[in-house]
Amino acid sequence: MFNTFTKREEELKLERTVRIYVCGITAYDYSHIGHARTSVFFDTLRRFLEFKGHKVIYVQNFTDVDDKIVRRAVKEGKTQKEIAERFIEEYFKDMSALNVKKADHHPKVTDHISDIISAVQKLIEKGFAYVVDGDVYFHVPAFPSYGKLSGFSLEELNRHRIEPDPRKKDVKDFALWKSAKEEDIKAKAVFESPWGLGRPGWHIECSVMSAKYLGVPFDIHGGGKDLIFPHHENERAQSYALFGVEPVRYWIHNDFVTIKGEKMSKSLGNIVRIRDVLKRFDGEVLRFFLLSAHYRSPLDYSEKALERAKKSYNSLKNSLELLDMEIAYLKTFGEDRTPVNSYATVDSFFRRFIDALEEDMNTPKALATLHEFSSFVNKNVANMSLEELEYCFNMFKQLCWTLGLFESYKRVPALPQDVAELIREREIARKERDFEKADAIRSKFREMGYILIDTPKGTRWKLIR
């Protein structure tokens, strides 16, 4: 995978247990599809590692105290905690619709204030940080390899800090602890510290919480690429200064979701919320769409693009169902079939799918292979033996599940004898042009939760979903 730190593709050298930290949302508003892309991508990476036999320990934080949360709390006459809790809950709702699994730990800043205070104290003791009237700053020149993650030169770094602050020793210095402002007190977003009432700066939380739950160094640090600078640059500096080692083995960042080629932003007013997309499209369709581009390329969102994704998604779902219906049919009625020897072909689809994901998580390539697999299924399903069908079904399903698709798929059951008899009766009725009887039987099936499908090779049934 492409490592942002070394700026090249590297073979991931992983033990059986893989430790992953992904920066989570700042809980001050509904999440948008850019957040969805990050969460879906790293969830897919996690699933793939699990598929390959790794045990993954996955941590994603919530920033539950921050300027934007405080601002909203004051505006709505609420506390920081009330605002954060509301949008954390909304985030989980959105993620559940997208089949994003819960992390092993979802730490929140406000539950780790004392850990953060100890870390800041340690940074002061070690000479990496200093106190000015209740604020604590990390002194960037004390950490010579600052800039190595983002690749910014000293000149670029100096330019990034636009507001010169005479209280800082260097323009690049950033806050580890911020003294309480009036708004913070109003929103109950302040905590006791050796430097007075205040709250943590943004970056220190991820250094503290990743080390607490994963140890140092850990394997993979993920996030959207907008976090490379300053957030991850600062996080790396803090962690290295605290623990004396390179804290992360692989830094992995995903690109943005764009709208008409532009980045989504509040100021442009082009933010698309997950919950609004879910009113019109199934969560799995959105997930499918988000995986349809390589994670390091921008992905342009539009209704049209989502419609296309839906079609493509449905064609995969249809193939899965076709296999399943054929299995149910053969289990119910039996039929001697000469195997079409599909095993080698199916294995090659399987191998190519895995290869695609092993090439820097190339999900569009993996999806293209799934589509080839799907065409093969559509062409051969009516001739495959039961054993082949089951093999094919399991392989297809496994690949889809690795991408987080069709997780809640319900199997089409074989029919008990008396119900199967009704299918026979209906076929006879149809031959005798007794359509009234045929329709009556069809209605009976509908009541039982099935849709009947007449094919040249006989009647099949599927579940009403």
Question: Which of the residues 194 through 213 are near Zn ion (CB under 5 A)?
Answer: 206
The pair of three-digit structure tokens given for residue 302, joined into one six-digit string: 């539009």
| 13, HSE (Cβ side, Cα atoms, 13 Å) | 1
Helix (H, G, I), strand (E, B) or coil at 247: coil
CB of 27 to Zn ion, least distance (A): 13
Range in contact with Zn ion (rule: CB under 5 A) among 16-24, 156-164, 338-346, 396-404: 16-24
Phi and psi for 114 in degrees, rounded to 5? -70, -35
Q: Out of 18, 20, 22, 23, name the contact with Zn ion by CB under 5 A.
A: 23
CB of 210 to Zn ion, least distance (A): 8
- Closer by beta carbon to Zn ion, 23 or else 452: 23
- Closer by beta carbon to Zn ion, 218 or else 445: 218
CB of 23 to Zn ion, least distance (A): 3
Q: Annotate each residue in 317-336 with x if it binds Zn ion (CB under 5 A) or - if it does not, as one string.
A: --------------------
**Per-residue CA distances from 337 to 301, 330, 333 (Å):** 46, 10, 12
**β-strand pairing of 218-224 with 55-60:** unpaired
The number of residues that bind Zn ion (CB under 5 A) is: 2
CB of 107 to Zn ion, least distance (A): 11
Does residue 59 belong to the site contacting Zn ion (CB under 5 A)?
A: no
The answer to whether 299 and 306 are in contact (CB under 8 A) is: no
Q: Annotate each residue in 145-184 with x if it binds Zn ion (CB under 5 A) or - if it does not, as one string.
A: ----------------------------------------
- Closer by beta carbon to Zn ion, 23 or else 49: 23
**Of 329, 146, 307, 328, the residue nearest 238 (C-alpha):** 146
d(CA 8, CA 15): 21
The answer to whether 50 and 56 are in contact (CB under 8 A) is: yes
- Closer by beta carbon to Zn ion, 120 or else 206: 206
CB of 248 to Zn ion, least distance (A): 11
- Closer by beta carbon to Zn ion, 228 or else 370: 228
Range in contact with Zn ion (rule: CB under 5 A) among 23-31, 144-152, 280-288, 305-313: 23-31
- Closer by beta carbon to Zn ion, 206 or else 392: 206
Max alpha carbon distance in the chain (Å)? Answer: 94
The answer to whether 59 and 49 are in contact (CB under 8 A) is: no
- Closer by beta carbon to Zn ion, 101 or else 231: 231
Range in contact with Zn ion (rule: CB under 5 A) among 19-27, 43-51, 157-165, 166-174: 19-27
Q: Which residues of 251-280 are buried (b: 16+ CB within 10 A; e: fewer)?
A: bbbbbbbbbeeeebeeeeeebbbbeebbee
- Closer by beta carbon to Zn ion, 222 or else 283: 222
- Supply the DSSP symbol for 62: B
- Supply the DSSP symbol for 7: T
- Supply the DSSP symbol for 432: T
CB of 207 to Zn ion, least distance (A): 9
- Closer by beta carbon to Zn ion, 109 or else 330: 109
CB of 217 to Zn ion, least distance (A): 16
**Per-residue CA distances from 309 to 47, 91, 96, 352, 364 (Å):** 21, 23, 20, 22, 12
Residues 6+ apart with CB under 8 A from 13: none
- Closer by beta carbon to Zn ion, 69 or else 206: 206
Examine residue 194 and say whether the peptide bond preceding it is cis (omega within 30 degrees of 0).
no
CB of 312 to Zn ion, least distance (A): 33
Positions in the binding site for Zn ion (CB under 5 A): 23, 206
